[in-house]
Structure 1
Amino acid sequence: MDKKTETSVAVIGLGLMGQALAGAFLKAGHPTTVWNRTAAKADKLVAEGARLAPTIGEALATSSLTIICLTDYDAVRELLDATDLEGTTLVNLTSGDSTQAREAALWAEKRGARYLDGAIMALPPAIGTDEAVILHSGPESDLEAHRSTLEALGTISYLGADHGLASLYDVAGLAMMWSVLNAWLQGTAMLRTAGVDAATYAPFAQQMAVGVAGWLPGYAEQIDKGSFTAETSALATDVRAMTHLIEESETLGVNAELPKLFKAIADRSIAAGHGGEQYPVLIEEFSKPA
């Protein structure tokens, strides 16, 4: 057996995602210990070769690497507060925000543990495949020490030493996801008034989304330079198109809240003197609190 498959792993938390994580480690040949508050959730994994630890402490003590996937960061600290963490490497894949991630890192390190924070950019069925992207942040040396083991879960993406980066990327990704989906739903609602079904519109919407995504590197360069020369369209021109979108939605009897939000943000930027600049100048509005 090679070094990769000799690495022992513990998985704490056996919801749907935790079960998928443990199953991927087992499939890759890693001795896997599991623990869950409701022990019955481990039955299938035990049948596949996992070991059910009677306590969290024993799970940590018998494994080189511990993966935690619970409901929230409070649950992580509640479960591990009474557990000896000295010398343990913890990889926390619990969803939360960047402040919680940084606080958890300090908490773990003060108790003698090595700590990596992470975020899973996949649904449980994708775990163990290349399509499952697992974000990691924290000391790079700790990641590299366990990279070959963690690769059993999917594609590893290391973001940097700041423990909060994985959570920040995660929520930034959610902003992208919901924005794209909501824009598609807006267009779908409009086209349904003309008898066009969602399946017919979806390929065109997908083409638009891919095209817009292609603008991002150039727009990012403008943001990083703080220079927003209108190379293709000025914000004042874009606002006229937003007005058209609002009017069309209202005429069709479709909810116009989303396009009105677009325009309200752009109007503030124009009022601040940026009407002649390109769309990414709106970063200044997005960077302000509401």
Structure 2
Amino acid sequence: MAQNTVDTVPSNTPVTLLGLGTMGTALARAWLAAGHPVTVWNRTPARAAALAPEGATVAGTAAEAVAANTLVVVCLLDDTSVGDVLAGTDLTGRDVVNLTTSTPAQARARAEWVRARGARYLDGGIMAVPPMVGIPQAGGYVFYSGPRDVFDRHRTALAVPLATTYVGEDPGFAALHDVALLSAMYGMLAGAAHAFALIRKENIDPATLAPLLADWLTAMAPSVHQSAEHLRTGDYTTDVVSTLAMQVAGTPTFLATAEEQGVSPELLTPYFDLMRRRLAEGSGEEDLTGVIDLLLR
């Protein structure tokens, strides 16, 4: 991934922020605390007014807020909300940074929509929750994609609330990286849910399993690097320690244990089904990387 480069605008760049939900409010407070002039607007005026004592300039309309500054950050509910809010504004000459959660296709379409209105566009995928905003040691960051020169111009200001990671000129890449990482998170949480369910009826304190589970997941996480290398080279058999055939042979134990513990296997069976399908194709000496190919339509 390309990282930050030297910015070309002052670090106290004025910022317009549209949308003051929990995340938007946290972003606004981080910029204000760092000395940035911030103009805010929200559909519920009280949320914007609450930031006035902290130094924010409250705009009466979205159009007024957009007119106030070149850097316009949008953090709304969804892509439809972005279109509705920006439709009545003059975007000419503005740099629109959209931190609203969207799909890659929505981000690409929104980039075209913004460009057609005379503005430049960056898309962002926030990898943080509001309490992490403004706290560098918390580890939160934002994926950014779109024109590199626009990112470079505003990188210092954008890095105030959360660290920045630039992932490419394609405006859909930030959303794609965002959803890819979050999808992996949900897969991990699904596995953890199954693990806790297995002990739920036993005289085992979940608090004693939690550190064991966290350590195990941490130890297994580096396997993604081998998967990436296999995908890059197309050779799924290099440095394989536990083959697909071995792992498929072990799946009945997991299913039997779930049955004994009165736990539904529904979080495991889709993945096990894919493993068996890949094995049936004659790929027993591979690791689990080939399952990825089965997911492609």
Same fold by TM-score, threshold 0.5 exceeded? yes
Letter paired with 2:206:
A
Kindly report which structure 2 residues correspond to 1:93-242, keeping only aligned pairs within 5 A, or say none: 93-130=99-136, 131-229=139-237, 231-242=240-251
Q: Which residue of 2 aligns with 1:4?
A: 11
Letter paired with 1:201:
L
Q: Contact between 1:242 and 1:262, CA under 8 Å: does it hold in 2?
A: no
CA distance in 1, matches of 2:261, 2:131: 40
Give deviations 1:43-87, integer Å, cap 9, x for gaps: 221110100011212211111211100111111111111211110
Q: Which residue of 1 aligns with 2:48?
A: 42
Shift of 1:236: 1.3
**SS of match in other structure, 2:280:** helix
Equivalent of 1:277, from 281, 286, 296? 286
Of all paired residues, the percent bearing the same amino acid is: 39
- For normalisation by structure 2, the TM-score amounts to 0.93
- Structure 1 position 60 matched with structure 2 position 66: yes
Q: Which residue of 2 aligns with 1:250?
A: 259
**SS of match in other structure, 2:255:** helix
Which stretches of structure 1, 4 residues or longer, exceed 6 Å deviation after superposition? none
Deviates more, 1:26-35 or 1:56-65: 56-65
Q: Contact between 1:133 and 1:156, CA under 8 Å: does it hold in 2?
A: yes
Letter paired with 1:238:
Q
**SS of match in other structure, 2:268:** helix
CA distance in 1, matches of 2:266, 2:277: 17
Structure with more relative contact order (C-alpha pairs < 8 Å, separation 6 or more): 2
CA distance in 2, matches of 1:195, 1:214: 32
CA distance in 2, matches of 1:173, 1:266: 22
Letter paired with 1:176:
A
Runs (5+) with no aligned partner, structure 1: none
Shift of 1:193: 3.1
Q: Contact between 1:236 and 1:276, CA under 8 Å: does it hold in 2?
A: yes
Runs (5+) with no aligned partner, structure 2: 1-8
Q: Contact between 2:70 and 2:93, CA under 8 Å: does it hold in 1?
A: no
Q: Contact between 1:243 and 1:263, CA under 8 Å: does it hold in 2?
A: no
Q: Contact between 1:223 and 1:283, CA under 8 Å: does it hold in 2?
A: no
Give deviations 1:184-241, integer Å, cap 9, x for gaps: 1111111233321221101111111111112111221011111111621211110122
RMSD across aligned positions (CA): 1.3
Q: How many positions carry a matched residue from both structures?
A: 286
**SS of match in other structure, 2:282:** helix
**SS of match in other structure, 1:258:** coil
Letter paired with 1:50:
A
Letter paired with 1:18:
G
